[in-house]
Structure 1
Amino acid sequence: MKEAHLSALSYEDALQAFSDQSLFENKTWRYSPEAFPLTSAQVKQIEQIGQACYEFYKAQETLYLRSVEGKNLLRNRPLKAPWVAAYLDRGKPEALIAHARAKALRGTVPMVIRPDLLVTEDGFAVTEIDSVPGGIGLTAFLNRLYTDVHGDALIGAGAQDMVTAFYEVLASRVPNVSAPYVAILVSDEAATYRPEMEWLASQLRQLGKRVHVFHPDDVMPLGDDICVGIDGDPQKVDVIYRFWELFDLANVSIAEFLLKAREAAQVRLTPPMRPFQEEKLSLALFHHHILEDFWRENLSKQSYKVLAKVIPQSWVMDPVELPPNAVLDAPYVGG
């Protein structure tokens, strides 16, 4: 919220709003009469962070794939870094690694990303860039709840609503389908967030959109397609929004089919199942001194400057033996 407000939200109205609509399973809330305030300078910085994060994802893919293929990272001097892919692939199933490298997925990034920000005395600090973020429905709900409080001062007021923006970005995956059927699949591990996704889907159905929430066990492969049962008949799913973490893949019943699906089916799943896009390790790679020139070449000057300021200095902790003459690039502890 920008600085300005009309009238505060009463405790009774806030309590009633959250009583009428559960957004997170088994969660309680502290209510505020006003939305969290942001200065115009902070709003501008958040917008810059958003653009920088998008560029970071694109550059991250370039870094990973060039590392995998043994290609040079820079335009004007030799630099190869096979260790980057080795780090990012460590502990991942071979089938998932192969899927992430598939040509059909080249250039794909998560359709919704959320940088987790801390407000510090020196400005914002990024603790994570989340590819499967909770809070999409919650944020949309809160924006609507506080509209009467802040009017046009509310961030996003007068612009595209988050509910419709979420749908349009999903529908863009299948531009040739006029009224796509969208299935939001929420795993057991992510069940806490199912209520907000149910609310989001219900809002879209009120707009005439075909969006429903399912458990992964509720969908079934039918030939090259994925279907759900609607009134006893199979309904082809045009787009899947994946709401499960890749570390939970072994517990997702449809995962094996998705990993082996034909190219068209792979593209209709978002966020794409590309584990290198979901690693906090990437924040440490941004600060790795060997890769500094790569990031400068593959990010705009503005975005590099923004990320250098908001991503805290981070190091890769690798438990390997070092020869006596080696130097470990790591923080000093205790001086």
Structure 2
Amino acid sequence: MSGLSYETIRSALADQPLFEDKTWQLSPEAWPLTAEQLAELEAIGVACHEFQQALEALYLRSVAGKNLLRNKPLLAPWVADYLDRGKPAALIAHARDPKNRGAFPLVLRPDLLITDEGFVLTELDSVPGGIGLTAFLNRLYGGNAGGTPALPGGILGADDAMIKNFHVALAALRPEQRNPLIALVVSDEAATYRPEMQWLAHQLQLQGKRVFCLKPEDLFPLENALFFDVEGNPEKIDVIYRFFELFDLENIRTQKFIFESWQAGEVAIAPPMRHFQEEKLALALFHHHLLQDYWAEALSGRSVKLLRTLIPASWVMDPAPLPPGAVLDGPRVGGRSLNDWRDLANASQKERDLIIKISGYHETAWGARSVVLGSDCSREEWQGGVDRAVALAPTNLHVLQAYRKPRRLEHPVFDRPSTEPGVVGASSPAAQIKAGRLRLCPYYFIIEGKPRLSGALATFCPPDKKIIHGMQDAALLPCRLVPAG
């Protein structure tokens, strides 16, 4: 079987650990993508960026009580209530600050599943991990590390596109400076990802870029600006790439200085600290029946059509009481519409092809920690998930989403070694064609106002795993383009 050897991959990862205390399965080959899939990924990037722009307009018009449509009345003050719920007043004020208008995440990463019907978009992450890992894997599988020959077909993100475009997007926040100082600030909550950010900073330093991976406590103020110490000398920070979730702000002792420096215009922050851009319920708003005319006006025809195909049916689990004759906009249970979200507890296993997950601004909102898949859990676990969503609604809304099962696919994966390499009697594991299901995470960097696809990370999980995420049983792979014909 062609491709990289087990020893090559393992040695490269051993020399440069990219995650703290994390391992995964190895494969000799990058994940293949067709030209048709690549074209769709390009369109998905455009649609996701348009969606973020439309979401900002929706939120700010909701806050101001302005009409959402051009030629007929539509007010939606409840949108701001949903997105602001449970957030600190200071963070809400910062997100609404006129200086932040038009500030969008510079890195977009949708989570895409490959199903029998094509791509399905389950989340849109604007503070994604995996940037350094994907860049490293692109090099390794693309033949740029250790003299390894390139595999057939070009690697998506070849020529260090992930590294270059990440820097270009951030440096553009300070266009007046030829080589701005960029701090990749990683919180303790996100410490698992610190090694890949350190690697990324080092690669850019080798190119003469002033990029450093820091902890929040490394920052200190001088007058209105932010600095950190370099060999006893204070260096002024021009751009912060924050690798921490907004719910983690209270644990960051230097957050006050970050906000003050931004307010003074001394530092730019990416992604912007705007909570409404990081809520999963935004996807449910896209499907909300009262907002269909808004999205049709705010998005291009191609993007709105694509997103309607990509985003599974999703609902905000708002337990506000309804009049006796009213029903919820949601799935049906026992052939009947719901009057109360708690009625979901009575759904049969077949009707529970649904996922419950917290919307955002909570310690369980990243990874798969809050996810409850109804068809893959007991009735008691399902009821517990429904009860938690209702109980937490005053401060943390949950989203209900139709589950779209990933397609069963095949890819070569190395067997687990029977003995540690280097030990007497050890032999190289063989690569076998194995079945599994795939999550694809393309990375788009916003450059000159447009999304630029710069790489993609494929997570190939065993077929019995219903929820796909990074785990020790999964293989993490870059992607390559399959030659035509």
Give the shorter-chain TM-score range: over 0.9
Separation in structure 2 between the aligned mates of residue 264 and residue 78 of structure 1, nearest angstrom: 39
- Following superposition, the deviation at residue 118 of structure 1 comes to 0.8
Contact 1:116 1:128 in 2 (8 A): yes
Q: Deviations over 1:54-105 (max 9, x none)?
A: 0000000000000000000000101010000000000000000000001111
Q: Deviations over 1:14-37 (max 9, x none)?
A: 110110111111001211110011
State the percentage of identical aligned residues: 59
One-letter code aligned to 2:181? Y
SS at match of 1:212: strand
Contact 2:113 2:122 in 1 (8 A): yes
- Following superposition, the deviation at residue 264 of structure 1 comes to 5.2
SS at match of 1:226: strand
Q: Deviations over 1:173-201 (max 9, x none)?
A: 00001111111000000000000000100
SS at match of 1:88: helix
What does 1:62-211 correspond to in 2, within 5 Å?
62-148=57-143, 149-150=150-151, 153-157=154-158, 161-211=161-211
Q: Deviations over 1:123-181 (max 9, x none)?
A: 111111001000000110111111133265222335x6211111111100000011111
One-letter code aligned to 1:118? L
Which of 10, 17, 25 is the equivalent residue of 2:12? 17
Cα 1:66–1:267, aligned 2, differ >3 Å: closer, same or farther?
farther
One-letter code aligned to 1:224? N
Separation in structure 2 between the aligned mates of residue 270 and residue 327 of structure 1, nearest angstrom: 41
Separation in structure 1 between the aligned mates of residue 97 and residue 280 of structure 2, nearest angstrom: 22
Q: TM-score, normalised by structure 2?
A: 0.66
Separation in structure 2 between the aligned mates of residue 328 and residue 79 of structure 1, nearest angstrom: 20
Contact 1:179 1:209 in 2 (8 A): yes
Counterpart position of 2:217: 217
Q: Deviations over 1:203-243 (max 9, x none)?
A: 00010111111100110111110000111121100110000
Q: Deviations over 1:302-328 (max 9, x none)?
A: 111111111100011111111112221
Q: TM-score, normalised by structure 1?
A: 0.95
- Following superposition, the deviation at residue 43 of structure 1 comes to 1.2
One-letter code aligned to 2:139? R
Contact 1:70 1:82 in 2 (8 A): yes
- Following superposition, the deviation at residue 333 of structure 1 comes to 2.8
One-letter code aligned to 1:212? F
The alignment status of 1:239 with 2:234, answered yes or no, reads no
Moved more, 281-290 or 139-148: 139-148
Q: Which has the higher strand share?
A: 2
Contact 2:226 2:266 in 1 (8 A): no
Counterpart position of 2:48: 53
What does 1:267-306 correspond to in 2, within 5 Å?
268-306=268-306
Separation in structure 2 between the aligned mates of residue 220 and residue 316 of structure 1, nearest angstrom: 40
Contact 1:186 1:214 in 2 (8 A): yes
Q: Which runs of 5+ in 1 are unaligned?
A: 1-5
One-letter code aligned to 2:157? G
Separation in structure 2 between the aligned mates of residue 52 and residue 224 of structure 1, nearest angstrom: 38
Tell me the C-alpha RMSD between the 2 structures: 1.5
Contact 2:238 2:266 in 1 (8 A): no
The alignment status of 1:33 with 2:28, answered yes or no, reads yes
Contact 1:52 1:306 in 2 (8 A): yes
SS at match of 2:54: helix
Q: Which has the higher helix share?
A: 1
SS at match of 2:320: coil
Cα 1:267–1:120, aligned 2, differ >3 Å: closer, same or farther?
farther
Separation in structure 1 between the aligned mates of residue 302 and residue 255 of structure 2, nearest angstrom: 39
SS at match of 2:283: helix
Cα 1:103–1:267, aligned 2, differ >3 Å: closer, same or farther?
farther
- Following superposition, the deviation at residue 334 of structure 1 comes to 4.1
Separation in structure 2 between the aligned mates of residue 56 and residue 167 of structure 1, nearest angstrom: 24
The alignment status of 1:320 with 2:320, answered yes or no, reads yes
Separation in structure 1 between the aligned mates of residue 23 and residue 158 of structure 2, nearest angstrom: 27
Counterpart position of 1:3: none
* Count, aligned residues: 329
Moved more, 52-61 or 31-40: 31-40
Separation in structure 2 between the aligned mates of residue 179 and residue 10 of structure 1, nearest angstrom: 39
Separation in structure 2 between the aligned mates of residue 27 and residue 73 of structure 1, nearest angstrom: 46
Separation in structure 2 between the aligned mates of residue 106 and residue 295 of structure 1, nearest angstrom: 19
SS at match of 1:164: helix
Separation in structure 2 between the aligned mates of residue 198 and residue 260 of structure 1, nearest angstrom: 26
Contact 2:180 2:239 in 1 (8 A): yes
One-letter code aligned to 1:55? E
SS at match of 2:32: coil
Counterpart position of 2:258: 258
Q: Which runs of 5+ in 2 are unaligned?
A: 144-149, 336-485
Cα 1:267–1:317, aligned 2, differ >3 Å: closer, same or farther?
farther
Contact 2:237 2:267 in 1 (8 A): no
